[in-house]
Amino acid sequence: MAKPLFSGSIVALLTPMNEGEINFDELKNLIEFHIQSGTHAIVSVGTTGESTTLSIDENVKVIKKAVEYAAGRIPIIAGTGSNATSEAIVMTKLLADSGVAGCLSVVPYYNKPTQEGMYLHYKAIAESTDLPQLLYNVPSRTGSDLKPETVGRLAKIPNIVGIKEATGDLSRLPLIKQLAGDDFIFLSGDDSTGLESMKLGGQGVISVTNNLAAADMAKMCNLALAGEFEEAEQINQRLMALHRDLFVEANPIPVKWAAYKMGLISQPTLRLPLTTLSESAQPKVLAALQQAGLV
């Protein structure tokens, strides 16, 4: 079987900010860090990149800068999702000739569409572009669940190539593979079960942990893709506290604080309504960083 378009350790990249303004110098440094660490691809302005509090212009600028800084050395996947189909199409079209490798589009949030509504939403986006599209299902944040049967229908649309499945429900993987076909890309969006999904035939992980433990995540995924699960499991166990405790408050609050503690970014600030990691949660995240050997 041919190598899938997207696989391995893919970082859901945070967006560095100084007092709420995007820090492009630090963005460039982070992309260099991931290239040097062996990360396989970058998602620019997904949930972890604070897409919902950036304007469309800012989203597009961050993505285009990521492509510029990567300079063809690592694929950039653009976060282009919206709960308004028209807005998702606008975002996708603005990136048509940007050099992105594909788009990651989250299930429409807040307005709770039916399965038919979700199908028509993704169909309309896919038909507006030639760019490869990845679905993104994260019911804990969107309030809506893209069912495997709907994924199977969407997989018949030629440029819908895969899914980031962030439910952590491993029983979905074989069902999605059965309904969507073996060449449909399954990427875990749940760090805690990411390795387990690869054992079941998933092709990789779109990871929050990867922001911090980039080299370890790349090695773990390389081992898993080679079927060397015992060694991969050793790495995964060392990172398990991070997988868990980077969600002690809403993502990307903890990962930004952790990246700041590691010296990867100069400020842990986010845009309101998100606030910096609370003092009560900081020892837990610090302990996870120590267990992973990162501080």
Report the CATH number at residue 70: 3.20.20.70
Asked whether 78 and 95 are in contact (CB, 8 A), the reply is yes
Choosing from 164, 177, 256, 261, which is the catalytic residue? 164
pTM of the model: 0.97
Per-residue model confidence as pLDDT tens digits over 121-153? 999 999 999 999 999 999 999 999 999 999 999
In tens, the pLDDT along 1-24 reads: 567 899 999 999 999 999 989 999
Strand runs labelled E in the chain: 8-12, 17-18, 21-22, 41-44, 76-79, 102-106, 133-137, 160-165, 185-188, 204-207
Domain of residue 181 covers 8-237
Q: pLDDT tens-digit profile of 24-67?
A: 999 999 999 999 999 999 999 999 999 999 999 999 999 999 99
Do the annotations mark residue 206 as ligand-binding? yes
DSSP 72: T
Q: What is the mean pLDDT of the chain?
A: 97
**Six-digit token string for 118:** 């979700």
Q: Is 119 a catalytic residue?
A: no
Domain count, the chain: 1
Q: With a cut of 80, say whether residue 228 has pLDDT above it.
A: yes
| Assigned domain for 148 exists | yes
Q: Label residue 3 exposed, middle or buried (CB < 10 Å: 0-12, 13-18, 19+).
A: exposed
Q: With b meaning 16 or more CB within 10 Å and e meaning fewer, what string describes 169-185?
A: bbebbeebbebbeeebb
CA distance 92 to 60: 9
Give pLDDT, residue 203.
Answer: 97
**152-179 pLDDT per residue, tens:** 999 999 999 999 999 999 999 999 999 9
Tens digit of pLDDT for each residue in 89-124? 999 999 999 999 999 999 999 999 999 999 999 999
- Residue type, position 133, single letter: Q
Q: Is 164 a catalytic residue?
A: yes
Selected catalytic residue, list 136, 177, 256, 261 = 136
